[in-house]
Amino acid sequence: MLSAWQQKCYDNLLNVRRKAPLVHNITNFVVMNSSANILLSIGAQPVMAHALSEVEDMVKLSSALVINIGTLDETWVSAMIKAGLAANSLGIPIVFDPVGAGATKFRTDKSLEILDLLRISVLRGNASEISAIAGFDGAMGVDSIHNVDNFIDISRDISNKYSCVVGISGERDLISDSRRVARVANGHSIMTRVTGTGCGLSATTGAFIAANEDPFEAVVSAFSYYSLAGELAYKIAQHPGSFESAFIDALEYINIDDFINANIQVEE
């Protein structure tokens, strides 16, 4: 029998599959293809559009906006802010992935600018990126160098400051809002050896936020589902190239029986 949270996560996945939300991604060149395939495997609909001339119109058609700064430049930042303001005006949720915040001043400054100008629903990153957002010196870049266990207070502070859910990826994922904390301990280390798995999680989070009412529950569900798929894929493929294909497949075929293995701890 599933626990209450295991059942909730599965039900929230079913909502994604039933509603098939259109998720507008302003994301980086490296992951456009993989993020689109991940969303399709989930049962959502992806669109990748970053032109200043159309982002507002695309947001109007969408159920969520995912902003990812992996290959940002000034024009892309302008498009992200323009799309985000349109999403705010329409009540469309935003997931923000500050890829590489802390690696360069430009990335950190633009991440903070986006957070100051937009009302986001979810901030999704690794511990290094979240520590840079929190203002700690020495936070470096794309691959996490910090233990998420040390980030409960930091994530709560950020959640309070920006009125958002914070999702931190690591060996054990940490999700928090202003009053609840969850830990998800599934997945496999091979996921860090495939480009775009973190960005794909942000896209997945966008689909779950679009299809479910409670943002915290949606993020916990997205992280749990995504990491469970990683475990299932590793049983079939133990090398990065074949794992990527097996992971896409697992996102599609995962079912209720698999959620008995979801390792979720929630403090309310």
The counts of H helices and E strands in the chain are: 10, 9
Q: What is the pLDDT of residue 141?
A: 46
Q: Is the pTM of this model over 0.85?
A: yes
Dihedral through CA 114, CA 120, CA 123, CA 129, nearest 10?
10
Q: What is the pLDDT of residue 178?
A: 87
In 3D, which of 152, 178, 154, 153 has the Cα closest to residue 165?
178
CATH code assigned to 4-267: 3.40.1190.20
pLDDT under 50 in the chain at which residues? 138-145
Give the list of residues 6+ apart from residue 61 with CB closer than 8 angstroms, or none: 22, 24, 47
Instruction: Give per-residue pLDDT as tens, 11-50.
Output: 999 999 999 999 999 999 999 999 999 999 999 999 999 9
CB atoms within 10 A of CB 198: 23
- Domains of the chain, residue spans: 4-267
Q: What is the pLDDT of residue 147?
A: 62
State the Cα–Cα distance between residues 134 and 95, nearest whole angstrom: 17
Q: What is the pLDDT of residue 78?
A: 98
Cβ contact 170:6 at 8 Å: no
CB atoms within 10 A of CB 218: 28
Kindly state the percentage of the chain with pLDDT values over 70. 95
Q: What is the pLDDT of residue 142?
A: 46
